A and B are shown apart, each in its own frame.
Chain A
């Protein structure tokens, strides 16, 4: 049994950890890019790292991959303290996509496999198979420069998977993809997790994380104010009650909390800790004339705003503007 460590508490999880990092720090000249990041990711999980650009997501991922070394802190990836010792079991799609423009698609995949130890012939064969499986059979012999941006991105993605890694790290994988290809990528990520592959991706589009992730880390200004399950993040914000009554005044008003807001015909207030039943009872006994009552659970976006702050959320929205969610 492994212990997933979050800043505030420990959660027991039966799965071993694919990644465990504590207190990672990275400084570039005078800039503190990452300041004490703690992350614990169980094997087979889909895990999102959320934050605006410049928050430290890429630097954190690079430290976890061993591309750069942390100035301080501890990391353990697939059981190895040095990620380079497990490099062939990791797939990595960097944010800045790149392939050799003159290479044929299947050769590009084979080359990326060769970098991870797959013999070239095997890589070529797998490359063709992967292209066929993902609807790019017609592009097998095409050069990368002949493909659309989305297709080239898919080829690189397949190159990331050609060596059948146990851990896949995607840096902003949805960036630059249209809605259809984003949907396909979500399916692919779920498929990887179903096979037991651990998937980590960074994103500044919260909707992707909300749909896909079991766990998330929120990064802002190089710090991680939250790591844990998505529902735990949502639980940071109390559920909101939306109430519509026939009577505007009456004894029932005493049952509403002090921070209740009136918007149009509705009353909004946090769900009391005592739960909904005592509230209902007080409203009925106080002759509120309930027309409707609903309890709305907070979305991840709301949780992000609450945890990371408005400024970080503003950056996220600016960064994500124009991208399909």
Chain B
């Protein structure tokens, strides 16, 4: 047999085998019902967060209602309420609401402490005394907060009028140093959270896909025909392709909602590297992060043979990844410090740390370095995962019962067996 014939009959080259697997996985996932749920997936946390935020805000606003009760002589009560109204117009949101509590006769005493201790309604403090010597009864924190305001209201009530404020002209700017920094940090945090959610979602999906494949028993057919590395690469990149479709759909929907709401990207803080570069780097770091974590999950999948085993085995990996995410989040608060450099160097946290860096820092060269570094680790992780997978999945034949039931044999065969020893 000629060497040419042998090479023509050999396994598919790595890239071609990976392509065969990736094409099958990609189309199978894309045209499955689960892909619809995948697309809708991010809606659920958004809805939950929206609902939780709305409910929280409602609770907070309900809880925030705190009135200051006025218990003074009748004329003083009127003067206090009038002064409060006039000041509230000039300083919206600064002067707390005040309500009439009691119109006292001259010299009549009022037990403000007892009224507050009954803890009824929204009464948070009580002002007694006179306009020139008001007494504020409240908890320590509220007393400290409202002491000045009550004095201001009483002073104006005593004067009988609120002085007209000087007219102040305003000049609006788009941003400021503080706003820019704060906005970039917010972009960094949002970027990290998005990256984490997407990667975890996809890594779980690729794991489920592998377990399903093991359950379908097709894995040995694949292993006999193509290199295990190609199988790994095919699976990883198929899911990456699926995620690109997902991101495109989500991005388009998000942009449509943004523009429909009359907003544009210029309304948000410009990332350090600029929006175009940020939009280029984000998918790259997503790909790296996904490939790294996906490799780990696939290796975990090779150790497991049932969904339950997968859940048990993937739990530590998931927990570890959450820790890594927190580590990378912490790095945002330690710019230029050891934690940030550590997060950028550690392969699993590097994509998160670098996305944050893209949001807050202008320089581009660290991204080239990081992508190369992460690419190296992707290669190592995939190779290690594939090796582990090959060793585990092809270890032995199916488990079979080894029981023996002492069945009878043809007498002649038994006799011959005895002869044969």
Q: Would you call A96 and B409 a contact (CB within 8 A)?
A: no
In the bound complex, residues from chain A placing their C-beta under 8 Å from that of B75 are none
- Find the A residue at minimum CB distance from B410: A302
CB contact under 8 A between A84 and B11, given known A112-B221, A115-B221, A305-B413: yes
Is B177's beta carbon under 8 Å from chain A?
A: no
| Contacting residue for B6 out of A68, A79, A306, A313, CB 8 A | A79
The answer to whether B1 has its CB under 8 Å from any CB of chain A is: yes
A66 to B7, alpha carbons, bound, how many Å?
A: 15
In contact, A305 and B397 (Cβ under 8 angstroms): no
Residue pairs across A and B with Cβ atoms less than 8 A apart, 25 shown, are: A53-B401, A65-B224, A66-B224, A67-B220, A67-B223, A68-B394, A80-B1, A84-B10, A84-B227, A88-B12, A89-B9, A92-B221, A94-B217, A98-B216, A98-B219, A98-B220, A98-B221, A111-B20, A112-B221, A115-B222, A116-B12, A156-B221, A240-B412, A306-B416, A314-B404
Inter-chain CA distance A76–B406, complex, in Å, is 40
Rounded to whole angstroms, the CA-CA distance of A315 and B409 in the bound complex is 12
Q: Does B400 sit at the interface, judged by CB under 8 A?
A: yes
A237 interface residue (CB < 8 Å to B): yes
C-alpha spacing A203/B299, complex, angstroms: 32
A86 touches B10 (CB 8 A): yes
Within 8 Å of chain B (Cβ to Cβ): is A307?
A: yes
Interface string of B1-17 (1 = CB under 8 A from A): 10001111111100001
Which of chain B's residues have a CB closer than 8 A to the CB of A263? 411
Q: Are B394 and A310 in contact (CB under 8 A)?
A: no
Contact of B218 among A92, A99, A240 (CB under 8 A): A99
Chain A residues with CB below 8 A from B252, complex form: none
A179 at the interface (CB under 8 A from B): no
Q: A53-B397, A67-B394, A95-B398 are in contact. Are A80 and B220 (CB under 8 A)?
A: no
The 8 closest A-B pairs by CB, nearest first: A98-B217, A58-B397, A79-B1, A98-B218, A115-B225, A53-B400, A96-B217, A89-B9
- Nearest Cβ distance between residue A3 and chain B, in whole angstroms? 17
Segment 70-103 of A: residues with Cβ below 8 Å from B: 78-80, 84-90, 92, 94-103
Asked if B170 lies at the interface with its beta carbon under 8 angstroms from chain A, I say: no
Chain B residue at minimal CB-CB distance from A315 = B404
Judge if A190 is at the interface, Cβ distance under 8 Å: no
Q: In the complex the two chains form, is A314's CB within 8 Å of B10's CB?
A: no
Q: Does A22 contact B (CB under 8 A)?
A: no
Find chain A residues with CB under 8 A from B225 CB. Answer: 87, 92, 112, 115-116
B404 close to A100 (CB less than 8 A) = no
Interface centre among B6, B9, B414, B419 (most CB of A within 10 A): B9
Instruction: Please classify how large the interface on chain B is, using the bins under 10, 10 to 19, 20 to 34, 35 or more.
Output: 35 or more
A33 at the interface (CB under 8 A from B): yes
Which residues 84-133 in A have Cβ within 8 Å of B in the complex? 84-90, 92, 94-103, 111-112, 114-117
Q: Is A301 interfacial (CB-CB < 8 Å)?
A: yes
Rounded to whole Å, the gap between the CB of A258 and the closest CB of chain B is 13
**Is residue A255 contacting chain B, with contact meaning CB distance below 8 A?**
no
Question: Which B residues are in CB contact (< 8 Å) with A88?
Answer: 8-12
Whole-angstrom distance from the CB of B14 to the nearest CB of chain A? 12
How far is A49 from B414 in the complex, measured between Cα atoms in Å? 22
Q: Which of A28, A84, A302, A311 contacts B404 (CB 8 A)?
A: A311
Decide if A86 touches B9 in the complex (CB within 8 Å).
Answer: yes
Which of the residues A62, A114, A171, A237 comes within 8 Å of B416, measured between beta carbons?
Answer: A237
8 further A-B pairs in the complex, CB-CB below 8 A; given A86-B6, A99-B218? A59-B397, A67-B224, A85-B11, A88-B12, A100-B218, A240-B412, A310-B414, A318-B403
Cβ of B402 within 8 Å of any chain A Cβ, yes or no, is yes
How far, in Å, is B329 (CB) from chain A's closest CB?
A: 39
| A-chain residues with CB within 8 Å of residue B9 when the two chains form the complex | 78, 80, 85-89
What distance in Å separates the Cβ of A51 from its nearest Cβ neighbour in chain B?
11
Smallest CB-CB separation from B11: which chain A residue? A87
Neighbouring A residues of B401 by C-beta, 8 Å:
53, 318
Q: Does the CB pair A33–B396 fall under 8 Å?
A: yes
Is A85 a contact of B10 with CB atoms below 8 Å?
A: yes
B395 within 8 A of A: yes
Name B residues whose Cβ lies closer than 8 Å to a Cβ of A: 1, 5-12, 17, 20, 24, 28, 32, 213, 216-227, 394-398, 400-407, 409-417, 419-420
Q: Which residues of B contact A112 (CB under 8 A)?
A: 221, 225
Q: Are B417 and A306 in contact (CB under 8 A)?
A: yes
A305 pairs with B10, CB closer than 8 A: no
- Report yes or no: A92 in contact with B224, Cβ–Cβ below 8 A: yes
Chain A residues lying within 8 Å of B213, measured Cβ to Cβ, are 98
**CA A54 to CA B218, docked complex, whole Å:** 21
Also in contact, A99 and B216, with CB within 8 A (given A85-B7, A117-B12):
yes
Say yes or no: A317-B396 contact (C-beta < 8 A), given A88-B10, A302-B416. Answer: no
On chain A, the residues within 8 Å of B6 by CB distance are 79-80, 85-86
Q: Is the Cβ of B413 less than 8 Å from the Cβ of A306? A: yes
Q: Is A191 an interface residue (CB 8 A)?
A: no
The A271-310 residues at the B interface (CB cut-off 8 A) are 298, 301-302, 305-307, 309-310
| A94 and B402 form a contact (CB under 8 A) | no
* B1, B398, B412, B415 interface centre (most CB from chain A within 10 Å): B412
A66, A97, A103: the one within 8 Å of B217 (CB): A97
Q: Is A223 at the interface (CB under 8 A from chain B)?
A: no
CB distance from A87 to the nearest CB of B (A): 4
- A84 nearest in chain B by CB position: B11
Q: Is the CB of B396 within 8 A of A28?
A: yes
Is A245 close to B, CB under 8 A? no
B231 CB to nearest chain A CB (Å)? 10
- On whether A318 and B397 interact (CB within 8 A), knowing A84-B11, A100-B216, the answer reads no
Across-interface contacts of B8 in A (CB, < 8 A): 88
A94-B28 in contact (CB<8A): no
Out of A101, A268, A311, A319, name the residue touching B216 (CB < 8 Å). Answer: A101
Q: Which chain B positions have C-beta within 8 A of A89?
A: 9
Q: How far is the CA of A11 from the CA of B9 in the complex (A)?
A: 29
Q: From residue 116 to 173 of chain A, which have CB atoms closer than 8 A to chain B?
A: 116-117, 156, 159, 171
B420 near A306: Cβ-Cβ < 8 Å: yes
